[in-house]
Structures are given as structure tokens and as C-alpha cells.
Chains A and B, each alone.
Chain A
Amino acid sequence: MADPSPDRMLHMYRQMQRIRQFEEKVNQLFLEGRMPGTLHLYTGQEACAVGVAEALDEDDWVVGTHRPHGHAIAKGVTLDDMMAELFAKSTGCARGYGGSMHVGDPATGVLPAIAIVGGNIPVASGMALGFKMQKTGQVIACFMGDGALNEGAFHEGVNMAAIWDLPVVFVCENNLYGASTPVDQVTRLEKLSDRAAGYGIPGETVDGMDVLTVHGAAQRAVERARNGDGPTLLECLTYRFVGHSRSDTRSYRSRDEEAEWKARDAIPRLAAHMVERGITTQDEVDAIAAEVAAEIEASIEFAESSPSPAPEDCLKYVFTEEAGQ
């Protein structure tokens, strides 16, 4: 499969850098006690979100999970909007109502992330049903972890998408663990994409540490979806480089395994690929990383100087008519 255009590859690199650096920064802010809530970081899985998002059009949609920062940034939610939300500010993408686990922005085609494992799957099928009924030509990518495949919602949502040929791409990011539980303890399958056969749809397992591979597979799946040929189950083999959530010593997995996966880091891998092909130079790549770092610093400034919601704002946005309580 041919590489995407140099511009797109450079953009992918920038997007992966944005996600990586965002996560590293928010982790630090969280540990310093400057950021409230809880965090599920996307560090290590950047190629999945970026490879998929780059296969989508601007008016296509994604819906993420409890680990949604990468999905949202990849689809175009700005770092300012993200950072302010995590800081619980009224300038955040969900005005401080949602926080880390519910980031999203309809203006960029990102539903509020759904932190109920598997809960986003029937919703994605429903969005796709709406696209189909209204003949909009849009597609939705539904992200899920390996753990989500064992929720009943997966079965019901995927089957409906299958029988109605709905324009949805189910992206399973298999990072080998659901919280502390190894994936091989909760399924007999070696390849999670084999589940697709049970619904009569195509399934594919790809290297989720290579953004170009993910992108190629996502393009095929998106094309199928857009052509009215129905959903695909795309399994991306990946790894979270960090703990499950803020409070995880990762004692259930070995440091050797972590090192093995870190050696496959998608970000330097794409950089090396582009430099090798003469698409860019190491200096240019480093300059992108530095630009992103500056962007992140600016987003922190934006977030910290933004106003908090008023306490009683908590009563707003329950219904569309705001008659008050």
C-alpha cells in the first residue's frame, strides 16, 4: 500500500506528538495536584486514533471511551478546549461538565466520550443508522478497548450495524489488558477480529503501533462503510505505556513486556520512516515536537486563566428547555 502524501504524514506525526505531549503534561499536572478528577492516559496508543481519524472526513464522527483524549485530539478537538475541560473550566469543550472521561466537541465530529465500557457501541450504530436514513454519506468510527468486546452492548450494537449495513467502523484497540486483567483471561480467541465472523462482517487485525498500517486498514473500512457495504471490525494491536488510571503500579505486567512494546513506539517509528524516505529531516521532526510543546504550554495558560463555572451552573443543561429547577 502506498504511503499517504508527505503532508498527511507530517500531519500524522504532529497529531501523535500532540497526543503524547498532552498526556505527559496532564499526568504531570495531575500528580502536582493542579488538575482534578481522574485520568486514563492514551500514551502509547497514538497510532490507533491518528491512523483512523486521518481516514475520516471532516464531517465524519468518532466516539471514544473512558480513555478518550487521543480520540478527541486526533479528530480535531483543540488542545485549548481539551486542557480547559480537564482543568474543569467553563471554556472547556464540555464547559467543565464532563471532564477527562467525557471530552468531545460536536463541531469537530466528536461525541462526548462514553465511559461506560461498551456503552458507545450501540450509540455509534444509531448515529450510523441516522446517517444512512438521512443519506448524509457520513461515517462514524467507534473506538473500544479489548475489554468492551465482552459487554452485551458490543453484541447488540455490532449486530444491528451488520444487518443494516450501517456506515460505522468498529475500532478495537487491543492493548492486552482491561485494567489489570490480561485479555487472554477473558476470551478464548487469539485474534479479537475473529469476532467479526459471528456477525457476517469483515474483521482485520493490524499492527496498532504503525500509524501507516492503521491508516491503510481504516481507509478500507471507511470506504466500505461509505459505500453502503456495512461495518468492519478493525483490531489494532497496541499497548498503553502507562498505568490504567491515575492509581496503578502496573504490578500485573512485567517491565520486560513494557520495554518490548516501548521499543515499537509509533512516534519515532514514523519519524524514522519519513527521514529514510527523504520526506523530512530529523531537524524538521524535532521542530514539530517543539512547536507542539509550545502549543501545550499555551493551552495550560489558557486553561489556568479561564473562569470556572459557577457552582449553581450545575443546574443547567439537564434539559433543552431551561425552565430552571
Chain B
Amino acid sequence: MTDQPQATKKMSIAEALREAIREEMQRDERVFCLGEDIGIPGGFGGAFTVTLGLSEEFGHERVLDTPISEAGIAGAAVGAALSGMRPIADVQYADFLFCAMDQLVNQAAKMRYMSGGKVSVPMVMRAPSGATTRAAQHGQSPESFFIHVPGVKVACPSTAYDAKGLLKTAIRCDDPVLFFEHKLLYGSKGMRAEKGALSPEGEVPLEDYTVPFGKAAIRREGTDVTILGKLMTVYRALAAAEDLAEEGISCEVIDPRTLVPFDVETVAQSIRKTEHLVIVDECPRTGGWAGEAAAVLQEAAFGSLDAPIKRVTAPDTPVPFAPVMEKYYIPDEDDVKAAVREVLRWR
């Protein structure tokens, strides 16, 4: 990690990701992008504009438009990585990772292990996650699937600063990284803007910096309860914390930034202070990240917990279309507030 640099610019997450890719492509000839509709002249720059302008800048050979072939994209990334390149692959919606599961789970994640450590797969697979009134096949949050796959790292940036810094770490990482981005956080502009988006902008250093994997960020300090959230639910947690402060409840909000590796210690330390933990996650409940985080954290800090850990998650259903049902489906600040009040009843 470099020191906190001086020159910064206000950026959306989409812009910050683009900056990371641009700088890494300038820095390292081996870095290239491949995906659907990412570099077509007059096109979209990917489903959420992240690669906009990069094919003009670096040439279409390094911003490769692929056929609609997710298994092919993932496999090509694995192979190119094995040959010494540093591919940044993407799918237009995280849901399409399922089309590429064999390449990601059986190939990318296992090459290094199967070879007894003799080969490695330095690839990034970017994937837009989260429900946005596009229903069951375009709104899933599949992060949890991948924490169950030994051999892939999983990053989940929720701020522009982290988006740039984590993506750089991912690109330089010698192992496969699943990089999840939330559709409502991108801040895509113009025609690609998302209804109901939060689009947090943040000051992003113009120089090179990285954000390390496995280091959680404390987004708000507090003393009564720890709330752990990722991607969009960080903001749900922050909104809840703001409201609860008015009731005299002090919440500490933690963003893990990467799910694999997971910074157990930062959260455990917080629990030692607050003695209460709520985990907020947009993944469906059963077998999800929230459950895994709860298990790990009760192992690490059971003695400090004053109440059972509470999960706030999406229910065990596909993502519904109707906005009224989707709103019910997505964990929001009211759900978080209710959970916080519930765990604090044990005080």
C-alpha cells in the first residue's frame, strides 16, 4: 500500500473501476479485458459503462468483444492467465456466472491446487450483482456461491475509493478473483442510469494505490451494536444507524470489502466492544454469506456476545419482478433497525 496520495477526483464507482483498469493496462501490457459489448464503437462500454472509451484508448485487441459465450469467456480468461496474461473478464449480469460455472469452479479455482502449486490463474471475473426490477434471472446476488469455492477470492467494493483500490489488487493478484459490483452503486450515467440507484461518489486518488484484500473498513463507529454489511447493504446499515442514533442507539457499521479473505479480527474486535452483531446481506438466507459470517464470528467472539447474532437477508426465494415484492425481498433499513432493536432487547 502506498501512502494516502494527495491529488483526488470525485468519481462514481463505474468511473473508479474504469480508472483502475486504465491505469493497470497502462502499467502492465499483460492486462486486457474481455467480455460482451465492452468495446464496440458506439456501444455501451459493458452493461454498466465501466469499460467505456477503453477500446478507443487501448485498441480493440486489448478490449476484446466476445460472442455471447460465458463459459468461453471464463475459460479463455483461465487459459490466457495460465499463458502469462492478466485477463479482466466480465459478465453483463452476475446471474450469467452460472453459465460459466464449470470454468470458474472446476478450472480456475483448482488449477493451482491440482498442479501442486506449479501453475496459477491470475484472472479477474467482474460481475454486476443485486436486484433492480429485472426479476429472477437478472437480479441475483451470487456472491455466496463463490465463498464456498476454495481457490477463488471474492471482492465486494461498496465505495469508489475501494472500487479502484480493490480492482487493482485483484488484477495484480496471482489467484482468480470474483469481483462483485452492485448495480445500484455504479453511478452509470445517461441512458444507462439505474432507477433507484444510490450511486455514491467519492474522492478517488488519481495516482496509483491499492486496497488490500482481507482488511475490513469501519464505515461508522459505535458502541451498542455492530452491523456487518456488504455492497448495497452497507448503505442500508448506515441509513439504519443514522436513524437509530436519534433513538440513542450507537451502531458500528463494518464493510468487509472482501469476503474471501474475510477479516474476522476487525469484526471480532468490534463485537468485543458492542457485544451485539447484526449481519445484513442481499443474498438469499440459506447457505448464504451472512450465515457463514455468523458462524465464523461466533467462533471468534462467542464470549463477548450478549445476544444471538441476527441475520437480515433476502428470503429463500428467487428475485420477484413486481416492485412491491422486490422491495419486500431486498433487506432495507427498516429491516436492519428491527433487527438491531431485537438484539438489543437482550441487554
Contact = CB atoms under 8 A, between A and B. Distances in A.
A8 B324 CA distance: 41
Contacts of B327: 311
Interface in B17-63: 36-37, 40-44
B91 to A, nearest CB: 11
A97 B69 contact: no
Contacts of B65: 181, 185-186
Contacts of B72: 150, 152
Interface in A282-325: 308-315, 318, 325
Interface stretch (B131-139, B174-182, B211-219): B131-139
**Ranked 7 nearest A-B pairs via Cβ:** A251-B42, A180-B43, A150-B67, A99-B321, A311-B328, A96-B322, A88-B322
Interface in B53-106: 65-72, 95-96, 99
B43 A314 contact: no
Contacts of B324: 88, 308-311
A98 B135 contact: yes
Interface of B: 36-37, 40-44, 65-72, 95-96, 99, 133-138, 190-193, 315-318, 320-329
B68 A147 contact: yes
B137 A101 contact: yes
Nearest to A313: B325
B317 A314 contact: yes
A180 B191 contact: no
Given A115-B137, A150-B68, A152-B72, A96 B315 contact: no
Nearest to B193: A247
25 contacts: A38-B138, A89-B322, A98-B136, A114-B137, A115-B135, A116-B96, A118-B99, A151-B99, A178-B37, A179-B36, A179-B37, A179-B44, A181-B37, A181-B67, A182-B40, A247-B193, A248-B191, A252-B41, A308-B324, A309-B322, A309-B325, A311-B327, A314-B315, A314-B325, A314-B328
A318 B138 contact: no
Contacts of B134: 37-38, 99, 101
Contacts of A314: 315, 317, 320, 325-326, 328-329
A249 interface: yes
Contact of A252 (B42, B316, B320): B42
A180 B135 contact: no
A98 B138 contact: no
A247 B191 contact: yes
A116 B133 contact: no
Given A152-B72, A314-B325, A37 B135 contact: yes
Contacts of B44: 179-180, 248
Contacts of A224: none
B68 A151 contact: yes
A310 B317 CA distance: 15
Contact of A117 (B68, B136, B322, B329): B68
Contact of B68 (A148, A248, A253): A148
A102 B135 contact: yes
A252 B67 contact: no
Given A97-B322, A311-B324, A116 B68 contact: no
A207 B40 CA distance: 27
Label chain B's interface by main secondary structure: loop
A236 to B, nearest CB: 18
A187 interface: yes
A36 B323 contact: yes
Contacts of B322: 36, 88-89, 96-97, 99, 308-309
A96 B325 contact: yes
A315 B37 contact: no
B317 A37 contact: no
Contact of B133 (A36, A151, A180, A325): A36
Contacts of A311: 324-325, 327-328
Interface in A59-106: 88-89, 94, 96-99, 101-102
B69 A152 contact: yes
Given A98-B135, A118-B68, A325 B325 contact: no
Contacts of B42: 180, 251-253
A102 B71 contact: no
A313 B99 CA distance: 29
A159 B286 CA distance: 36
B136 A102 contact: yes
B43 to A, nearest CB: 3
Contacts of B321: 37, 88, 94, 96-99, 102
Contacts of B40: 180-182, 185, 252
Contact of A247 (B96, B192, B326): B192
Nearest to B95: A116
A118 B96 CA distance: 11
Nearest to A116: B137
A325 B315 CA distance: 8
Nearest to B69: A150
Given A96-B322, A97-B325, A187 B67 contact: yes
Contacts of B191: 247-249
A282 to B, nearest CB: 38
Contacts of B135: 37, 97-99, 101-102, 115
Interface string A150-172: 11110000000000000000000
A114 B96 CA distance: 13
Given A147-B68, A314-B326, A318-B316, 13 more contacts: A38-B138, A96-B322, A99-B134, A117-B68, A151-B70, A152-B69, A152-B71, A178-B36, A181-B40, A181-B67, A308-B322, A309-B322, A311-B324
A318 to B, nearest CB: 5
A178 B38 CA distance: 12
A254 B96 CA distance: 30
Given A178-B68, A180-B43, A116 B325 contact: no
A104 to B, nearest CB: 13
Given A37-B134, A312-B328, A318 B318 contact: yes
Contact of A151 (B69, B315, B320): B69
